[in-house]
Amino acid sequence: MPVHTVHVFIMLLLVATFVAALSRRVHIPYTVALVAVGLAIASLGSFHVPVLSKDLLFAIFLPGLIFEAAYHLKADEFWRNKFAIIALAVPGVIVAIALTALLVLGAASAGWLEGVGWRQALVFAALIAATDPVAVVALFRELGVDRRLQVLVEGESLLNDGTAIVLFTLALSVATGGPAAAPSLLHMLARFGIMVGGGVAAGVLTALGITFLMRRLDDAASEITLTMIAAYGSFAIAESFGVSGVIATVSAGMVCGSYAARMAMSRATRDSVVGFWSYVSFMLNSIVFLLLGLQVHVSTLADAWLAILLAYLAVTAGRAVMILGVSALLHPTRERLPAAWPPLLVIGGLRGALSMVLSISLPESFPYRNNIVIITFGVVIVSILLQGSATAIFARRLAAPVPPVAPE
């Protein structure tokens, strides 16, 4: 088994290297090409890979990818766009879940989705709500969009992961327990606040401890190792205390990138850290996008094409209404969005590995579970292939550089 695992890992890296070189020649977004190649390999039926489980995603992929993105999201940039990012990542996700659930339930009431009730609609809307940072951050950074737009997309996708996981947990408890067993609004708000606040505390304290150690070292290799401890350690500490590991890693990454890099690293060390995490991001992104394609059987998706199409339209419409609403609310403020950006934020709301893993984590006894898993996989694949390609086109045509928001 260990030898087989090593062989699979080497094959994935070889395929990723080939796809990276090919995508630059044919001008296809790298992430889109990886998923397409993964689908093609999976259709051959002779390439066995590890299942993309929740443990694998949380232990290996998410901490590294989130930390690398948060490390480049400077605190001052986040603060200048705080209202827009928080509006998109917290109330925006809640609104998107509600709208998606209503649209899915409407399609079921019309007879287009058999066997779907309010429980299935609510759980599906919650697990598909997050714009996965594994997908979004890689694509937008690759396209080199305007820096403020990139900050908005990265900030939203990093924060709404924590929001979506908490809301999915609450939605599942409501769906499995029934309305009578649903927690009160005050209880849900308190639970959400504890998970987010505890995650922030775990991440900040871990990063400050790492900064303290860095200031007593002057060795690039040791300091790179400490940043890895900050990334994976903050996630593990937060999860062990029952708070958000995603929020903890985001906080740790921002503190390390904005404070530790300035106060505790030499210029040479900063360059080494950036180079190291750039490679880690490339490697993890490559493997996770290939695994996304390799998990899916095209024939299974083809059999459920109508349900996937209806669900995809509901998800996209829910996000579109949410983005337009947030844009309207921000219009009178200094954080208003240029007219060209809302369409990009809508089509840039790709779904990814997190949604697939959350669907797999549903209890076996949950009604309509297998159908939800198939529909979720289909929506994720269509999102990456269709919206990923469209985002590249829209970003080049519409995202003209604009002046950054003036500091307060």
Q: Distance between CA 45 and CA 297 in Å, rounded?
A: 9
Helices (H), 90-184: 91-109, 118-127, 133-143, 147-177
What tokens does 269 get?
């060390």
Q: Distance between CA 295 and CA 381 in Å, rounded?
A: 10
Secondary structure (DSSP) of 282-295: HHHHHHHHHHHHHT
Domain residue spans in the chain? Answer: 2-398
Q: Which of 335, 314, 318, 404 is nearest to 87 (CA)?
A: 335
User: What Cα–Cα distance (Å) separates residue 7 from each residue in 14, 36, 220?
Assistant: 11, 21, 31
Degrees to nearest 5, angle at CA 228 with 224 and 232: 170
Residue with token string 């002057």: 218
Per-residue pLDDT, 97: 93
Q: Which helix (H) or strand (E) holds 323?
A: helix 305-330
Q: Which of 40, 33, 8 is nearest to 18 (CA)?
A: 33
CATH topology of domain 2-398: Na+/H+ antiporter like fold (1.20.1530)
Query: Which residues, including other chains, have CB under 8 Å from residue 401's CB and lie 6 or more apart?
Result: 146
Per-residue pLDDT, 408: 47
Q: Which of 6, 374, 362 is nearest to 168 (CA)?
A: 362
Query: Is there a contact between 313 and 110 (Cβ–Cβ < 8 Å)?
Result: no
Q: Which of 119, 144, 102, 172 is nearest to 313 (CA)?
A: 102
Burial class (CB in 10 A: 0-12, 13-18, 19+), 272: middle
**For the chain, which ranges sit under pLDDT 50?**
1, 399-403, 406, 408
Per-residue pLDDT, 224: 96
Per-residue pLDDT, 154: 84
Degrees to nearest 5, angle at CA 405 with 399 and 407: 160
Query: Is there a contact between 248 and 202 (Cβ–Cβ < 8 Å)?
Result: yes
| Sign of the CA dihedral with 86 first, then 83, 321, and 381 last | negative
Residue with token string 């694998």: 56
